[in-house]
Structure 1
Amino acid sequence: MFDQASSSTATEIVQNSTFERFARTGYVVSGLLHLTIGYLAIRIALGTSVGDADQSGALSAVAAQPGGIAALWVAALAFLVMALWRLVETAVGRSTARKSQRTASEVLDRAKAFALAVVYFALAYSTFGFARGAGKSTGEQNSDISARLMQTGLGTVALIAAGVVIVAVGGYHIYKGAWRKFLDDLKGTSSDLVRRLGTVGYVAKGLAIAGAGVLIVVAVSRTDPNQATGIDGALKTLGAQPFGAAMLIAAGLGIITYGLYSFAMARYTKM
C-alpha cells in the first residue's frame, strides 16, 4: 500500500495540468491509430491492400511515411504518459470527484484504470518497437505465442481462458456502446454527435475484439495457432464471408468512428 507521502506525491502528479494535457494526447494518438486501422480494413475489403488491419499494420503504415519515425516516438511517449497516468489513478483514484465515489465503485474504477495502464504500456512498447525499426506483426506474434502455449495442457487452458476473457472484453465494449455507459466517463453534458460517435464506435470495436477472442478459441479447438491472429484475423475472416467485403467496409467505418470518438475523449474524459 502507498504511505501518506507517496499518496500525496501521486495526487500532485494527477492534479498537474501539464501532465494531464500530455496524457490526453494519448487519446488523440489512439484515435489516429483507429482511423488508420479502419482505413486499412476498407482497403483490404476493396482489394487494394494486403497489409494487416490492426495496430501493427497502422504503426507500420505511419513508419513508412515521411516524418513517420519521429511521429512514432511522440506517439510512444504519449502512450507511456497515459499508462503512467492510469497507474497513478489505480493507486490514488480518479482526480475528479474522488470523494463522492462509493467504495465498490471506486474499487471498480481503479481496477479498470489498472487494466488501461497495462493496455497503454503495451501500446507504448509496441510503438517504441516500430520507432526503432524493430516492430513485428501483431498477428505473427499472436500465432507464435499460441503455438507455444498449445504445446502443453496448462498452456491450452490458459489460451482458452484468454480467448474467453477477450470475448468478454468485446462484449463489455458492445454493452458500453449500446447502453451508452461511456457517457459516465465524460465531463458535462455530451452533444448528440459525441453520443452517436461513442455508440457506433464502441459497438464496432467490441465486435472486432470479440471476433478476435472467438478466433483464439477456434484456433485451440482446431489446434491451429495460425488462426489466432487478433483483430486483423477477425476482420479478414469477416471479409472472407458472403457479402464479406461490404461487412468489412462497415467494420472499417465503425472503427474509424471509434477513432473520431477518441478525439472527443481527449477533451471530455474525466481524469
Structure 2
Amino acid sequence: MDISSHVPAPPPRWVENFARFGLVAKGIVYCLVGILAFMAAFELSGSSEQEAGKTGVFQFILDQPFGRVLLGIVALGLLCYSIWRFIEAGYDTEDKGSGAKGIGRRIGYAFSGLVYGALAVLAGKMVLSNGGGSGGGDSRQTLASELLQQPFGQWLVGIVAISTMLVGLYQIYRGVSDKYKKQVQHAGLNHDIEGMMIRAGKIGYIARGIVWIIIGYLFLKAALASNPQEAGGSSSAFKFLEDSSYGSFLLGAVALGLICYGVFMFMRAKYQAINT
C-alpha cells in the first residue's frame, strides 16, 4: 500500500497565504537590516553595525510602540515563510524534479526553511522574554565553537565556511545572470512593474551574496586560527566592510542593496504566482 497516497495535499490557498505573509515578513526584516546598516555606515543617530544584525533588528522592532505585537507578527510571518519553504522542498511545488539538480534546489529550499525557522524562534523568544534577546548575535560564534570541539573540528568549520561562500557566490550569479527573472516574467505584470522588480532583485541578490561571502570568509578565519571568536554573522560582516578602505561607502552601498532585496520581497508577495 502506498502510504503517501493517503496523505492529503496541502490546501493551495493555505500555502499561498503562508507564502505571501512570509515574503512580507522577510521583506520587513531585510529593509530594516539595510536601513540600520546604512545608518551605521554614516553614523546616523548613533547606530552601530551590531544593531544592524538580525538580533539588532528584532530588538529595534521590540523597542517601538506595541513592539511585542509587531515583533510577534514578524516572527509568525517568518515561521510561515519557513513552512512554505519546507512545502516547496517536500512537495516539489516548483517542479524541480528528482534529478541531481532538482534535488539540490529542493535541499536549498529546506535549508532556507531551517534558517528562517531559526529566526522565527529567535524573534519569538525575544517577544516572550522580559529584556529582549541578548546573545543571539553570537550564534555563529557558538556554532564555530561547538564544531571546533569535535574531531576534525577545523575541517568542519572550514566546510561551513566554503559552503557559505558558495551560497554567496550563487546569490551573486543568480543576480548577474538574471536567473530569478523567470519568477517575475511568469507573473504577467506590466512592463514598468516587471522592470522595477528585475532591477530590485538584481541589486538585492548581489548585495546579499556579498554579505554571505564575508560571513563565509569570517568562518574560514575561525577555522584557520581555530578561534571561534573570528566567526560572525551579518553584523560582523557589516563591521568588516566598515573597517575596509572607503568602508562607509561600501557598507552604504551594500545596505541600499539589502533594502532593494527587501522591496523585491514585497513585490514578490504582491505579484508573484505561488505554485501550490
Give the secondary-structure state (helix, strand or coil) at the position aligned to 1:52.
Answer: helix
**Which residue of structure 2 aligns with residue 171 of structure 1?**
169
Q: 1:269 to 1:170 in 2, by over 3 A?
A: farther
Q: Match of 1:143?
A: 141
| Residues 247-269 of structure 1 deviation map (CA, whole Å, 9 limit, x = unaligned) | 11111111111111111121215
Instruction: Quickly say closer, same or farther: Cα 1:93–1:241, change in 2 above 3 A.
Output: same
Distance 1:221 1:139, change over 3 A: farther
Shift of 1:231: 1.4
Q: Does 1:220 align with 2:223?
A: yes
Q: CA 1:115–1:126 in structure 2 vs 1: closer, same or farther (change >3 Å)? A: same
**SS state of the match for residue 210, structure 1?**
helix
Closer, same or farther: CA 53–68 of 1 in aligned 2, 3 Å: same
* Cross-structure match for 1:20: 16
Letter in 2 for 1:230: G
CA contact (8 A) 1:54 1:138 kept: no
Q: Answer whether contact 1:216 1:227 (CA < 8 A) is retained.
A: yes
Moved more, 155-164 or 134-143: 134-143
CA pair 220-244 structure 1, distance change in 2 beyond 3 A: same
Supply the AA of the counterpart residue of 1:40.
Answer: L
Task: Report the count of equivalent residues.
Answer: 262
Match of 1:121 among 110, 113, 117: 117
Check 1:141–1:270 CA distance in 2 against 1; reply closer, same or farther (3 A cut): same
Q: What TM-score do you get using the length of structure 2 for normalisation?
A: 0.87
User: Unpaired segments of 5 or more residues in structure 1?
Assistant: none
Q: TM-score, normalised by structure 1?
A: 0.88
Write out per-residue CA displacement over residues 151-209 of structure 1, whole angstroms, 9 at most, x where no aligned residue.
Answer: 34422211111111110111111011111111233432561111000000000001111
Aligned partners of 2:223, 2:252: CA distance in 1, in Å? 28
Q: Does 1:29 align with 2:30?
A: no
Q: Is the 8 A contact 1:73 1:127 kept in 2?
A: yes
- C-alpha displacement at 1:243, in angstroms? 0.8
Residues 222 and 12 (structure 1 numbering): CA distance in 2 closer, same or farther, change over 3 Å? closer
2:232 is the counterpart of 1:234: no
Letter in 2 for 1:49: S
Does the 8 Å CA contact 2:175/2:201 hold for their aligned counterparts? yes
Q: Which residue of 2 aligns with 1:107?
A: 103
Aligned to 2:54: 55
1:70 corresponds to which residue? 69
Are the counterparts in 2 of residues 86 and 116 from structure 1 also a CA contact under 8 Å?
Answer: yes
Structure 2 counterpart of 1:84, one-letter code? I
Deviation at 1:226, TM superposition (A): 1.8
Taking the TM superposition and a 5 Å limit, the aligned residue runs for 1:237-252 are 237-252=240-255
**1:234 to 1:45, Cα distance in 2 relative to 1, 3 A:** same
For residues 155-194 of structure 1, the aligned pairs below 5 Å read 155-186=153-184, 187-189=186-188, 191-194=194-197
Q: Shift in Å at residue 42 of structure 1? A: 1.3
Match in the other structure for 2:262 = 259
| Farther off after superposition, 18-27 or 245-254 | 18-27
Identify which of 207, 213, 237 aligns with 1:204: 207
Q: Which amino acid is the alignment partner of residue 218 of structure 2? A: L
Q: Is the 8 A contact 2:142 2:228 kept in 1?
A: yes
Cα root mean square deviation, aligned: 2.1
| Corresponding letter in the other structure for 2:92 | G
Amino acid at match of 1:38: G
